[in-house]
Structure 1
Amino acid sequence: MAYQALYRVWRPQRFADIVGQETITQTLRNALEAHQTSHAYLFTGPRGTGKTSAAKIFAKAINCPNLKDGEPCNECPSCLAITAGTLNDVIEIDAASNNGVDEIRDIRDKAKYAPTSAPYKVYIIDEVHMLSTGAFNALLKTLEEPPSHVVFILATTEPHKVPLTIISRTQRFDFQRISAQAIYSRMSYILQEKGITFEEPALKTIAKAAEGGMRDALSVLDQVLSFSDNHVTLENALQVTGSAAQKLLADYMQAVQAHNTPQALELLQQVLAAGKDAGRFIEDLIEYSRDLLLYQQAPAMVEQIELGSVDEQFKQLSQAFAAADLYRAIDVLNDSQQQLRFTNHPDIYLEVATVKLCQTQAAATTATVAAVPETTAEISQLQQELKTLQQQLTTLQTNGTPAAAPAAVAPRRAAKQHTNVAAIYPVLDHATKDSLQQLKSIWAELLQQLTVQHRALMRASKPVAASHDGVVVSFDSDFLLDRANSNQEMVDALENGLDRLVGYTPKIIFVPQDEWPQVRKSYIKQHQRTKTPEAESAVAEKAPVISQAETLFGAEHLEIKND
């Protein structure tokens, strides 16, 4: 007999053999024992989680005369025929290739006839979401009121594509992804039954690569067995799955943490030279970074995810990385993963991502170190002020008179920056109402293109005057204005965003909101004779009639409209 794949040879034949779906199998067994089975079931879940196997076992159990504890005997003629696929009363249909109205009408017509050799006629429709709208409509009535001897079992990986009218007529069971530990245990059992030796790390690698699908895991195991002459080794498992060894991932992240760009690039070249898939390598790095982050908060969870293979190097890395650094690393890797989908040169993006990871970590560390002296100086100054106040209090308590006023303590906050009138006036010379309205209309979209930190910095801003060469932006917070003025990276991002949105790059000048009216007033006075009509339209003072009306009726009762 020709060789059969492992997932076919070891397909579950009893509910107890289905791995990772204990709740569902127990419910079905109870229903069979109590003779309270439904006429229609819907099995949903990811691929390789046991949906079709459960459907076949249910078909055997409901037709088995020797049912025991809800399990089929697998020895009677009915069970043997269903296992071999030769029982005419159990009909398997692939909806992907039989998705038309005619095929479903044929099922509906034949369902009326009694089964030939079994108590029940069972229809198993796989990938039912592939049926056309007309086919679903043709199935509705039969599914709602089928003959008493018919059971429908629908299986799908995409339940959201199944009409609600169909779902409401079935009992739905959601199959979950199988845990890596359960997959590992099942593969270990199969290999022991076959008398094949294996390395535990190899099975753990396959279990993690399967991503919750038992069929995928057994397919990969089949490849490894063929590749390694009936001995499962870690090296061969890594070769087949395209994954990188944990030691290599740990060394790479250690180089990133140490800002050692040459070493990180050298390790990357080793990965590429070994023929590893670039997308798989980035996915492994994201998972490794995720595990480092989780281990800081929930070590037991990571132990379970990694099947107990957490080594000392991993623990040290988890302590060495700050959570914020891991957030940034995952963001960089995720961006690179998206870019890989649209390139034929993944090695370039991997190299760029590696340099960016190392430099990002270095920049973050430098910024932290630079902030320490300022913080220390501020603490010392506060301590000195506290000491002075304590001395004053002691003098008052002793003499009953206030002590001499201490020397003024230098203010901790930097002096308020003066408005850059020299830069604002040239903008006002050519400012127009149309330019200002254009910027106001795209301002929200412009801020959405910034990073989260930069958006938070600009949340208190709005454009108040604009020309083709410049834009005046007011801030209602002096603190945020000072931060914005000192953040050249954000200013560059704003100018680049304006270039993309409006087609030109105006210079951006920041001004305090409470100073803007005075700046505008001063400009009008100084340019009363030379200002252009456009500038007058953009920054002109209120007309006398408007001022008089506000005096008489109050500004809140006026609505000013431009002609």
Structure 2
Amino acid sequence: MAYQALYRVWRPQTFIDVVGQEHVTKTLQNALLQQKISHAYLFSGPRGTGKTSAAKILAKAINCERSPVSEPCNECAACLGITNGTISDVLEFDAASNSRVEEMRDVLDKVKFAPTSVQYKVYIIDEVHMLSISAFNALLKTLEEPPKHVIFILATTEPHKIPLTIISRCQRFDFRRITAGAIVKRMKLIIDESGINCDERALQLIARAADGGMRDALSLLDQAISYSEDQVSIEDALTVTGSVSQGFLNKLALAFREKDVASGLEALDELLFHGKDPMRFIEDLILFYRDMLLYKTAPNLEESLERVMLDEDFRVMAETISMDQIYQLIDLLNKTQQEMRWTNHPRIFLEVAIVKLCQMEAKQTVQAQPAQMEELITRIGQLESELQHLKANGVAAVMQETAPQAQKSAPRTSKKTFQPAVGRINEVLKQATKSDLNAIKTNWGELRASLLKSQAALLNDAEPIAASSTAFIIKFKHEMICQMAMSRTDFLDAVVAALHKLTGIRFTILGVPEDQWLPIRESFLNSHDGAEGETSEATKEEEPHIAEAKKLFGAEFVEIID
């Protein structure tokens, strides 16, 4: 029989074999026992974390002859047939190579037919995000209301590419990256069952290189077994994964600490001579110092270390380096990594980085010597005695007395109010006539219509109240609006230009708030008792009942008799 890869031989056949996904398997097992099976599931997560394996296990558990069960028996005809792929009612559809709508419709046309061998038809659609939009649309209605004997299980590594209308019709389960410890535990079981000799440090190295994927870990283990002779050593694992040994990283870190440029460059030459990838090397170096930083801050979190194993050399190195130095090293290595991505000569940037790291000056805090500490303590005692002396002489009392005075002398900020030009308003009132005011009021509506909306809005609660042949006064209901209008040159120029177009006269505009207009008017009348009747009449403000009468009957039909 042909040789099968380890990840195929040791593919999980029960939920308990799915490593690191207890939050998914426990939910599915409870649903199976309670017979609360959904019509559609979505399994999403990184590659090699057990999505397709869990889908096949679920298909077997649903159709197991001993159901309801939390685990398939793997002994009945249904379980064996699904495992061997001889039951056509459980279909595994690869969306990556069958992404067109025609292929999807060909599958969906057979959904309505009842299963022939088992109780449920199960459609496992792998890499479902590769389907075209038309294929998704064809799947949509069937996925929402499939026949009672059909269950869909969708698997994907990129759920963000799936339409939300599809996701909302499925129960979603997110598979997580598997921890290095769980991967090592699973690989130990495999090598023990297979009778293979393997160094535990090699397993740890392979697990960290797998980046959370069990399939990747088993593939690397398979390669390491083929590469080795009698026993898988850590050197075999380093060769297969392309990683740099921790001893080499410790040697390089020692060169950085001792500022030995020659040793650092020699180690780099040896590394590149053995065919190591510069990008992979600098990534390993960054992870080395990252793990050192985590070890110094949280020594108990050994599981969070991604690259290193806690040997004696690493512990000694971590104790002799400061946190600031680690920050500097990681920062420089990260910048070098970014530069290496856009060059055809990454080795040059790597050599420059090695030289910089060997010549880096640590930003260490200056620690005081015992003699200096004694001098500082003496000086602090003198300052404390001087402070007590000042308090005894009343300095504190003087400060308490002067504080309220400082608060009283603080300048008061008063609200700035609009100050109308009273003198210019009085000059307009002296020459004001009713005919001039009526001429402006007649054109007031057209004037507002010709202005911009932002300019016309300033005249919503404003009206002309007095006018001469060259100027007129606008009364504003609100002081703030008056101040805003009189300070905007674009508004004043627009009003003057509009009136000039309507009347042929270029008027000067004066503004006054409503609450300030009455005192100004009364003061003017009192100081000009002998003024012309027409002027006095022009400055009078209409009574409310007169204004209401004009609105009801029209100004031309209302005659006012004093």
Q: Distance in 2 between matches of 1:312 and 1:52?
A: 42
Question: Could you tell me which residue of structure 2 aligns to residue 387 of structure 1?
Answer: 382
Q: Report the secondary structure of 1:212's partner residue.
A: coil
Whether contact under 8 Å (2:261, 2:354) holds in the other structure is yes
In structure 1, what is the equivalent of residue 323 of structure 2? 323
Q: Aligned ranges for residues 113-512 of structure 1 at < 5 Å?
A: 113-302=113-302, 305=305, 309-360=309-360, 362=361, 364-365=363-364, 384=379, 387=382, 390=385
Q: CA 1:261–1:379 in structure 2 vs 1: closer, same or farther (change >3 Å)?
A: farther
The answer to whether the 8 Å contact 1:92/1:123 transfers is yes
Task: Verify the 8 A CA contact 1:89 1:115 in the aligned structure 2.
Answer: yes
Partner-residue secondary structure (3-state), 2:35:
coil
> How far apart are residue 230 of structure 1 and its match?
5.0
Secondary structure at the counterpart of residue 301 of structure 2? helix
Which structure 2 residue ranges, 5 or more long, are not aligned?
396-482, 491-562
Q: 1:386 to 1:42 in 2, by over 3 A?
A: same
Instruction: Go from structure 1 to structure 2 and tell me whether the alpha carbon gap of 1:107 and 1:357 turns closer, same or farther (over 3 Å shift).
Output: same
SS in 2 for 1:300: coil
Aligned residues: 402
- CA apart distance, 1:79: 1.2
Query: What SS does the corresponding residue of 1:43 show, helix, strand or coil?
Result: strand
Does the C-alpha gap of structure 1 residues 39 and 270 become closer, same or farther in structure 2, counting only changes over 3 Å? same
- Equivalent residue for 2:87? 87
Look up the equivalent residue of 1:246 and give its one-letter code. Answer: Q
| Residues 1:394 and 1:141: Cα distance change in structure 2 (over 3 Å) | closer
- Aligned position for 1:16: 16
Residue of structure 2 equivalent to 1:470 = none
SS state at 1:299 partner? coil
Look up the SS of the partner of 2:154 in the other structure: strand
> How far apart are 1:263 and its partner, in Å?
1.9
Closer, same or farther in 2 for the Cα pair 1:92/1:262, shift >3 Å?
Answer: same
Q: Distance in 2 between matches of 1:36 and 1:313?
A: 55
1:359 corresponds to which letter in structure 2?
Q
Can you give the 5+ residue segments of structure 1 that lack an aligned partner in the other structure?
403-553
In the superposition, the TM-score normalised over structure 1's length comes to 0.66
- The residue matched to 1:182 in structure 2 has which SS? helix
Deviation at 1:76, TM superposition (A): 1.4
Give the drift of 1:305: 3.3
Residue 306 of structure 1: CA displacement?
6.0
C-alpha contact 1:101 1:135 (8 A) present in aligned 2: yes
Q: Structure 2: how far apart are the matches of 1:99 and 1:396?
A: 86
Task: Check conservation: 1:42, 1:173, Cα contact below 8 A.
Answer: yes
Shift of residue 344, structure 1, vs aligned partner:
3.1
Tell me if the contact between 2:62 and 2:68 (Cα under 8 Å) persists in the aligned partners.
no
Distance 1:64 1:296, change over 3 A: same
**Kept after mapping to 1: 8 A contact 2:61/2:69:** no
Contact 2:287–2:306 (CA under 8 A) maintained in structure 1: no
Q: 1:159 to 1:382 in 2, by over 3 A?
A: same
Matching residue of 2:525: none
Q: Distance in 2 between matches of 1:198 and 1:69?
A: 37
Relative to 1, partners in 2 of residues 1:392 and 1:180: Cα closer, same or farther, differing over 3 Å?
Answer: closer
List 4+ stretches of structure 1 deviating above 3 A.
303-309, 376-386, 391-397, 557-561
Cross-structure match for 1:72: 72
Q: 1:235 to 1:395 in 2, by over 3 A?
A: closer
CA distance in 2, matches of 1:334, 1:395: 55
Give the TM-score, by structure 2 length: 0.66
Distance 1:266 1:395, change over 3 A: same
Change (3 A) 1:220 1:388: closer
> Structure 1 residue 179: deviation in Å?
0.6
1:389 is displaced (CA, Å) by 6.7
Is 2:105 the partner of 1:105? yes
Contact 1:199–1:234, Cα closer than 8 Å, also in 2: yes
Q: Distance in 1 between matches of 2:331 and 2:130?
A: 36
Does residue 60 in structure 1 map to residue 63 in structure 2?
no
Hey, what's the Cα distance between the residues in 1 that align with 2:309 and 2:382? Answer: 54
Q: Aligned-residue CA RMSD in angstroms?
A: 3.1
- In 2: Cα distance, 1:363 partner to 1:560 partner: 62
Deviations 1:228-274 (A, max 9, x none): 13521111110010111112112212222332222222222222122
**Displacement of 1:559:** 8.2
Structure with bigger gyration radius: 2
| 1:67 and 1:73 in contact (8 A); partners too | no
Q: Residues 106 and 379 of structure 1: is their aligned pair in 2 closer, same or farther, counting only changes over 3 Å?
A: farther
Quote how far apart the aligned CAs of 1:349 are. Answer: 1.9
Indicate if the aligned counterparts of 1:224 and 1:232 stay in contact, CA closer than 8 A: yes
